[in-house]
């Protein structure tokens, strides 16, 4: 694995995503958040690649760049939906400059392009490798940090008890629906189910404690 290329990719990703802080009401922390997420996704991608026999370097580089489209100044919700496709356009010349072949570059860019809504604006194949970019992203979005983040943004601590109960019930329903989401590899699927089951167990306990908080002794 070429650690120099990975370092160059990390530096490029950082410099591009820090542009976020200069757009609209964005803050440096919002840019840092996106950078941190990209590193977590790259680590998940490396784990999947190692288990599946993919090129780990290619996977890490593609995952590091998966959200590079956020370096664009978004003006609408459509821009957010397009950030994978924007990212592929930004990543392509950079990947070629690192010496990746045209074939590898296109597969990496296709994975970046489709990771949001499974659509690209150029021809490509949904290979297990290309799907791994989105699979790694999804696995991070349902890991422990995002569990904490979700409760924080819901202001769970300050919700009345009925609202806390409703939040836990809705989350459990959502987790049940998402558990069977298809993934590109067995490794990513196993990883996903472990994360969903972890959150399901957490929210079942949270719901049970909300019910026990109502003053009834069972």
pLDDT tens sequence across 119-167: 999 999 999 999 999 999 999 999 999 999 999 999 999 999 999 999 9
Rounded to two decimals, what is the model's pTM? 0.94
Query: How far apart are alpha carbons 35 and 22 in whole angstroms?
Result: 15
Output the six-digit token pair for 52.
Answer: 């599946």
CA separation (Å) from 40 to 35, 93, 139, 141, 191? 9, 24, 10, 10, 14
CA nearest 16: which of 70, 63, 66, 60? 70
Count of domains for the chain: 2
Q: Are residues 172 and 97 in the same domain?
A: no
The confidence score (pLDDT) of residue 111 equals 98
* Calculated CA dihedral for residues 144, 134, 105, 53, nearest 10 degrees: 70
Are the beta carbons of 88 and 135 closer than 8 angstroms? no
Q: Are residues 28 and 101 in the same domain?
A: yes
The confidence score (pLDDT) of residue 144 equals 93
- Structural domain that includes position 153: 144-212
Does residue 46 lie within any of the structural domains? yes
pLDDT tens for 59-112 read: 999 999 999 999 999 888 898 999 999 999 999 999 999 999 999 999 999 999
The confidence score (pLDDT) of residue 44 equals 98
């Amino acid at each position: 694995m070429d650690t120099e290329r990975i370092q160059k990719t990390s530096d490029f990703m950082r410099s591009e995503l820090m542009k976020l802080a200069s757009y609209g009401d964005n803050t440096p922390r919002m840019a840092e958040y996106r950078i941190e997420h990209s590193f977590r996704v790259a680590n998940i991608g490396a784990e999947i690649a190692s288990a599946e026999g993919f090129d780990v370097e290619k996977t890490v580089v593609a995952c590091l760049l998966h959200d590079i489209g956020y370096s664009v100044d978004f003006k609408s919700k459509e821009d957010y939906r397009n950030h994978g496709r924007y990212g592929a356009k930004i990543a392509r010349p950079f990947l070629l400059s690192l010496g990746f072949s045209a074939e590898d570059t296109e597969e990496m860019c296709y994975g970046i392009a489709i990771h949001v809504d499974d659509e690209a604006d150029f021809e490509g194949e949904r290979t297990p490798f290309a799907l791994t970019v989105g699979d790694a992203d999804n696995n991070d979005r349902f890991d422990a940090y995002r569990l904490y983040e979700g409760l924080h943004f819901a202001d769970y601590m300050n919700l009345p008890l009925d609202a806390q109960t409703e939040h836990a019930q809705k989350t459990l329903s959502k987790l049940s629906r998402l558990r069977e989401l298809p993934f590109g590899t067995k490794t990513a699927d196993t990883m996903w189910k472990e994360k969903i089951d972890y959150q399901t167990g957490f929210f079942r306990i949270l719901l049970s404690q909300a019910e026990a908080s109502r003053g009834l002794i069972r």
